[in-house]
């Protein structure tokens, strides 16, 4: 797809724009000393749900960024299905979040960096709904850098 800019600003790909919003959510998690993962859900070019990791704050292993965003989007739409929506998440969803995305019937998942240890693709791509399109490696360097720096700082504190 080609993007046209009518200003002096370069045109930005919507996937990059919304991933930047997910990265802002990851920064919120980082500020709380949470694993810096952020997510937004978009429908019709508009963000309808946001989330960042809150597992430590809420003492809840299920309080992942995606789960927070799913809940916010479902509250916004008034329904549990997120057809015609896109999930933007900074890191490849884990099996739990990928399974939840299956039940939401979300149309697209766009993620930044791969998670070689806990990403859903390490187990099976079939966890994702068969009609869900998946796009990876969008602003992956930024997302991976946030994670790497976070864990380096954790190790240095030991």
Tell me the CA end-to-end span of the chain in Å, nearest whole number.
Answer: 47
Is 9 a residue of the active site?
no
What is the structure's pLDDT at 76?
97
Q: State residue 154's pLDDT score.
A: 84
Query: 3-state class of 104 per DSSP?
Result: helix
* pLDDT tens-digit readout, 64-96: 999 999 999 999 999 999 999 999 999 999 999
Question: What's the whole-number average pLDDT of the chain?
Answer: 93
CB 64 within 8 A of CB 55: yes
Q: Which of 9, 34, 56, 66 is catalytic?
A: 66
Residues of the chain short of pLDDT 50, as ranges, are 1
pLDDT value, residue 49: 98
**Taking a C-beta distance cutoff of 8 angstroms, is the pair 115, 137 a contact?**
no
Quote the distance between the C-alpha of residue 139 and its chain's center: 12
Q: Against a cut of 0.85, is the pTM above it?
A: yes
- What was the pLDDT predicted at 5? 56
Per-residue model confidence (pLDDT) at position 8: 66
CB within 8 Å of 143: residues ≥ 6 apart: 19, 23, 26, 90, 91, 111, 112, 113
Parallel, antiparallel or unpaired: strands 38-43 and 85-91:
antiparallel
Q: Which residues pair with 85 in a beta bridge?
A: 43
| Confidence at residue 45, expressed as pLDDT on a 0 to 100 scale | 96
């Amino acid at each position: 797809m080609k993007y046209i800019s009518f200003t002096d600003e370069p045109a930005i790909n919507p996937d990059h724009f919304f991933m930047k919003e997910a990265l802002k959510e990851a920064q919120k998690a980082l500020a709380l000393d949470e694993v810096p993962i952020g997510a937004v859900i978009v429908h019709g070019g508009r963000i309808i749900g946001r989330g960042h990791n809150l597992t430590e704050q809420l003492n809840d292993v299920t309080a992942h960024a995606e789960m927070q965003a799913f809940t916010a989007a479902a509250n916004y739409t008034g329904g549990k299905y997120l057809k015609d929506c896109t999930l933007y998440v900074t890191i490849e969803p884990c099996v739990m979040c990928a399974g939840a995305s299956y039940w939401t019937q979300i149309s697209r998942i766009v993620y930044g960096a791969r998670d070689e240890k806990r990403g859903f693709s390490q187990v099976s791509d079939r966890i994702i709904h068969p009609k869900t399109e998946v796009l990876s490696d969008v602003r992956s360097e930024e997302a991976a850098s946030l994670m790497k720096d976070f864990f380096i700082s954790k190790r240095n504190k030991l």
